[in-house]
Structure formats: C-alpha cells, structure tokens
Amino acid sequence: MVGLDVDIFFLLYLGAGFVLLFGLWFYYDWRDGHIHDAQRVKVIYHCIKCSQIYTGPHLSEECDCPQCGFTNGRLRF
C-alpha cells in the first residue's frame, strides 16, 4: 500500500510540473506574438525638415514630427 501512494504522488508531481511548463510556454508564446504584432503594424516616417525618423500609429498617412512639428507623409518601400 505504501508503494502505491509513492507512485501516485510521483505521477501527480510530474504531471503538475508538465502542466506548469507547458502553461508558461503557451503564455510566453502568446505574449511574444502580441508584442511582435504591435511592433509590426507601426508606420515609419522621415521628416524632410529636420531629418528625424520616427514611428506613428497604424494606418495613418500623415503624422506630425515630434521634434519640429512638421507634417510628413509615411514612407513606402
């Protein structure tokens, strides 16, 4: 009877460890995907007045330069 209790405890211990490991794996994969998507959708601008390179909100065609205030169009590659 004692051997059976140790086996069950060992299986529960390993199972909890695997659940924790895979839970952390899924959480960090989900978090990194959201961080990458937030960086990917930013729009890049180049100020023709002061040569500042900056980013703006998603799907915006024009944005004011944070340094000089000049309105610039988005860069297209």
pLDDT digits (tens, 9 = 90+) for 14-23: 999 999 999 9
Asked if 53 and 34 sit in the same domain, the reply is: no
Q: Rounded CA gap, 47 and 69, in Å?
A: 9
Name the domain count of the chain.
2
**pLDDT confidence of residue 15:** 96
Asked if 31 and 50 sit in the same domain, the reply is: no
Asked if 28 and 60 sit in the same domain, the reply is: no
Asked if 63 and 76 sit in the same domain, the reply is: yes
Asked if 53 and 35 sit in the same domain, the reply is: no
pLDDT digits (tens, 9 = 90+) for 18-64: 999 999 999 999 998 888 877 777 888 999 999 888 988 887 888 89
**pLDDT confidence of residue 2:** 61
Structural domain of residue 66, as residue ranges? Answer: 42-77
1's CB contacts (< 8 A; 6+ apart) are none
**pLDDT confidence of residue 1:** 54
Q: How many CA atoms lie within 13 A of 43 on its CB side?
A: 16
Asked if 50 and 36 sit in the same domain, the reply is: no
